[in-house]
Amino acid sequence: MKKLVLATAALALSAGLASADTVRMGTEGAYPPWNFINDKGEVDGFERALGDELCKRAELTCEWVTNEWDSIIPNLVSGNYDVIIAGMSITDEREQVIDFTQNYTPPDPSAYLALSADLDVEGAVIAAQTNTIQAAFVAEHGWTLVEFATPEETIAAVRNGEADAVLADKSYLAPVAEAEADLVLLEREEAIGGGVGMGVRESDGELKAKFDAAIQSMKDDGSLNALISKWEVSSTF
């Protein structure tokens, strides 16, 4: 029941819906630009904007809840919130346990962030967040993997020389490289993971259908692409 509840986006839509159950949207709140906590202490970011728009189109009342990454799926299947919207890539492993809506960003490569641009990653020490697809990727290739509990620590590790590079989603690393002059993105990128989708319980087919339709309508009228470009989270459809 990781309910680090930070923001209540009670999207009061219409009085008619007031009696309906609210849909609780679970996110991590520590992964800009996808989702993060802004200065006011509210959930913000690409997925906040996207989620609010989707709820409006699906005529649902939504509420935002943050939950630690490690237990985000067990808490969904246990019913503590109804949707995961946390930059979660659609993978086979996860598909076995939960259902995903159609992806709302196209599959995008993961990137390396390092101190020098001419690093050879295969012989280097690569930092990644524990239990991410990137960590699994490095381990599978037999390179030296060093795992940290939070993404923040992985970048700190490169800064202080504990690791040579971080492997993470490009959209997460790009703003960091932009802000800090001595950190650069490598040219080499890895195609890991599918697109990002919303996770729902397997028994919740109705909710999945509603969000699928809403995502489709945003894809069709181009508003999804506009949102993606605005937050620079990935390539567009």
Interaction mask 68-97, another protein, x per CB under 8 A: x-xx-xxx-xxxx------------xx--x
Task: Provide the mask over 95-114, with x wherever binding to another protein is found by CB under 8 A and - wherever it is not.
Answer: --xx----------------
- State how far the alpha carbon of 145 is from the alpha carbons of 141, 152, 165, in Å: 10, 16, 10
CB of 69 to another protein, least distance (A): 9
Considering the rule CB under 8 A, would residue 17 count as an interface residue with another protein? Answer: no
220 counts as binding another protein under rule CB under 8 A: no
Q: Which of residues 45-64 bind another protein (CB under 8 A)?
A: 45, 63
Angstrom distance (rounded) from CA 82 to CA 79: 6
- CA pair distance 222, 237, nearest whole angstrom: 9
x-or-dash string of contact with another protein, 114-153, rule CB under 8 A: -------------x--xx----x--xx-x-xxxxxxx-xx
Q: How far is CA 128 from the centre of its chain?
A: 15
- Within 18-47, the residues that bind another protein by CB under 8 A are 19-22, 24, 29-30, 32-33, 36-42, 44-45
